[in-house]
Structures are given as C-alpha cells and as structure tokens.
Structure 1
C-alpha cells in the first residue's frame, strides 16, 4: 500500500491530546466563494455533527447541508456519498496522529521508551474521540482509502521505524520489522477498541492497563531475542528461569 506523508498538514494549534476537542477540530470559516473553502466547511460540519451525536448513523447528508447552509446537491459536488464524506473526515482527523506520534517520540531518552510512548499515545488518541476512531478503524473500508493511508503514514510507520532502530541497537531480535510493527499496532488497537466498546469492565487504571499490555508485547520480543525465536513455550519458561538465577 502506498504511503503518503501527511506531516505538516495538521493544524498547528493542536499541541497535545488534551487540545483535541470539538472546538479544536473546527477550522475558522472563511467567506464562501471557492470550492476548497466549501469543501473544508463540509468537513467541519460533519465533524461537529459526529462529535455532537456520537454516532455516524445520526449524521446525514441533509443534516450536514443544513449545518453548512447549502443544499444537499452541493455536498455531492465534493463527496460521492456519505461514506466518502466520513472517510475524508476521519482521514483529516487522523492526520493529527502523525503529529502526536512525533511529539511523544521527541520527549523520550531511549528508543525503547519511544516505542512505549508511541503505543500509549495511540490508545489515548483513540479514546479521545471514540466515534471518529470507530469509523476509521472498525468499519469495512476499502484498501488504499485516505483513512488507511493516513493511519499507515502515522501510527504504523512511526512504530515500524522505532522497531527498526531497536533491531539496529540489538534490543529487538533481527527480523521482519513490518510484522513486528503490525503485532504492536494490533495490540494497541485491541486495547483501544475494548476500552471504547466496553468502558464498564473492571480495567482498573486505564493508563496502567494499557502500559501492561503493550509492555508484554515489547518485552516478549526482547526476551525472544535472548532465548530463541523457535523455542517452545515450556522450554522458553525454563530458559527464562535460568536467566533469572
């Protein structure tokens, strides 16, 4: 899947996850007159409605048109259908993830802490506006969509780059960095999805729970480098006991 860089396209007023809010997702509206301005206003209105209603089914083309102050056919001049509109809204939103992944990486003192921070940031980001995350990652979608490319150019690529650095440092065992990044991404997504879908389960401290799960994945890879990739589970336990003593 081609990777398209989205760095530099995020609104610079978003500095931390605490800044992500219905207000921060809105752009300042300009006077109408150009197709690009109307395009952005349509995305703004759709985002606002998604955040207000909490569900994509509650957002219609007619409601978006009324919010913008145009007719429904005007929406279709920019987006083929509702799915295309939602896809574009989520793609624009997830461009913010690219900036966040870079921000947390810059604050760390070691590569392994960078990976940990990236995983935690991903889950926090998903929980911040769950409906947008749900639409972008839990729908059927289509390969090569704007959402898929935006996610790949942020979360996946940043995680894979960090894992490649850990392999170069000898911390992670050598191997397929793409597969290793997919494993970590899958774990982060699974945690985010469960926390969003089942917030009432006894997770305890959500941050600590997330950290434990992601730490297990990372430490599992590191341990594998010492005891061997193809070692059976029972033998791996014995080797780990030997290392402990």
Structure 2
C-alpha cells in the first residue's frame, strides 16, 4: 500500500533523502529480507514515484549502505543515552545491555549492518580506536570508553578487551538468532560473566 505523502515545497527536495532511507529500513524490518528492499518497494513505502529516487541514489545498493550508516549512527545514540548519568563503574554493563537491546529490537537491520558492510581492512585500527572514517567507529568508540572507565581495566589499554567484548556480544546475538531453542542463560547473568571473564581473565580462571 502506498503511503500518503505531501510533496515537498520548492527547495525542500533534500528532505526526501532521509525519507527514502527510513522507508528502506522499514521495508527491511517488515519483510526481514534484504532482497525485498527494491526501488519500487521503497518508493511505495515513501509514497513517491520510483524515478524520484534517482535524484538521491543511483541504485538500491546505495540506499542499503545509507540504511547501514544510519543504523550505526542510531546505535551510537543508543549507547550514549544508555550511559548518560551512569556511574563510571556501571558504564560497561549499561552499554552492553543497550547493544543487545538494539540488536534484538532491530534484528534485520542489525544483521545487514554486519553481513553486508565491510568497515575496513585488517590493521585499520590505531592504538586507541578505529579510524574516524570507518562506519561504526563512533559506536565502537563508546564501548572502548566504557571499558576504559571500568575499574577492572586497571589502567591498561582498553582496546583489546573492547574488541573481545564486541566479538562476544556479536557472537551471542548471532548464535541466539540462529539457535533460539538452545537453553541460553539469563541475559544479565551472561553479560556479567562475559565482562568478568574478559576484563579479569586470570582472576576468573583461578576462582573457577
């Protein structure tokens, strides 16, 4: 069904671009299929003629890349909101919980963010965080900052444990989606255990 939409006034054509991206994201989440995000489907969702898209995007691949960029920006905003006015020692747990919530509530966009997008070649990280030009660098930087604030980091470099934690979170999300019948532990208990094992691997092994 075509959405009802008032035409932009003269000089407001730039407003159509974010509407196209939002429409594509909606099609993706509603159908669960990247293949369903066609120019015609997006135009129908936004309520415009298909040729109107070409003034903003050359093809559907460009639209999908814009959806991915917007999703990473949204993830960054979610992490900021989750860690605002939170004690430094609780930043990491709050950020990890927010990351999982983001992936759970936007499952198809999250999948496409990583299945389709490539953020850079190996070795593209510097000593503290990914280069600012990479899509998703800001969101990952929030995780690095949260690790740095955690008391168990003990002044060491936060980059390696942040990478390990990101890998663990993404792996958990992917496996939970692929094998939902598995008896997964309660989410909060699992997060607490992951943080403890990654930031305090020696202590955790000795107490196990």
Does the alignment reach a TM-score above 0.5? yes
1:84-233 mapped onto 2 (5 Å cutoff):
84-109=62-87, 111-141=88-118, 143=120, 149-154=134-139, 156-166=140-150, 171-220=152-201, 223=203
Q: Say if 2:16 is the partner of 1:32.
A: no
Does the 8 Å CA contact 1:119/1:214 hold for their aligned counterparts?
no
Alpha-carbon spacing, 1:65–1:106, altered in 2? closer, same or farther (3 Å): closer
Name structure 1 gaps, 5 residues minimum: 1-28, 225-236
Name the CA distance, whole Å, in 1 between partners of 2:90 and 2:165.
Answer: 14
Q: Deviations over 1:105-124 (max 9, x none)?
A: 23433x33211111121111
Moved over 6 A (4+): none
Once the two structures are TM-superposed, the CA of residue 196 in structure 1 deviates from its matched residue by: 2.4
Does the 8 Å CA contact 2:83/2:94 hold for their aligned counterparts?
yes
Once the two structures are TM-superposed, the CA of residue 182 in structure 1 deviates from its matched residue by: 1.2
Give the secondary structure class of the aligned counterpart of 1:176: coil
Does the 8 Å CA contact 1:90/1:135 hold for their aligned counterparts?
yes
Does the 8 Å CA contact 1:45/1:68 hold for their aligned counterparts?
yes
Name the CA distance, whole Å, in 2 between partners of 1:114 and 1:40.
Answer: 31
Number of the residue aligned with 2:127 = none
Does the 8 Å CA contact 1:120/1:211 hold for their aligned counterparts?
no
Give the secondary structure class of the aligned counterpart of 1:80: coil
Q: Say if 2:63 is the partner of 1:80.
A: no
Alpha-carbon spacing, 1:181–1:30, altered in 2? closer, same or farther (3 Å): farther
| Count of residue correspondences | 191
Name the CA distance, whole Å, in 2 between partners of 1:95 and 1:149.
Answer: 12
Taking only aligned residues, the RMSD between alpha carbons, in angstroms, comes to 2.8
Name structure 2 gaps, 5 residues minimum: 122-132
Does the 8 Å CA contact 1:91/1:150 hold for their aligned counterparts?
yes
Alpha-carbon spacing, 1:71–1:82, altered in 2? closer, same or farther (3 Å): same
Alpha-carbon spacing, 1:172–1:211, altered in 2? closer, same or farther (3 Å): closer
Q: Considering Cα pairs closer than 8 Å and 6+ residues apart, tell me whether 1 or 2 has the greater RCO.
A: 1
Q: Deviations over 1:129-180 (max 9, x none)?
A: 1000000022253539xxx8442102x11121223334xx6x3244432222
Name the CA distance, whole Å, in 1 between partners of 2:147 and 2:112.
Answer: 28
Q: Say if 2:41 is the partner of 1:60.
A: no
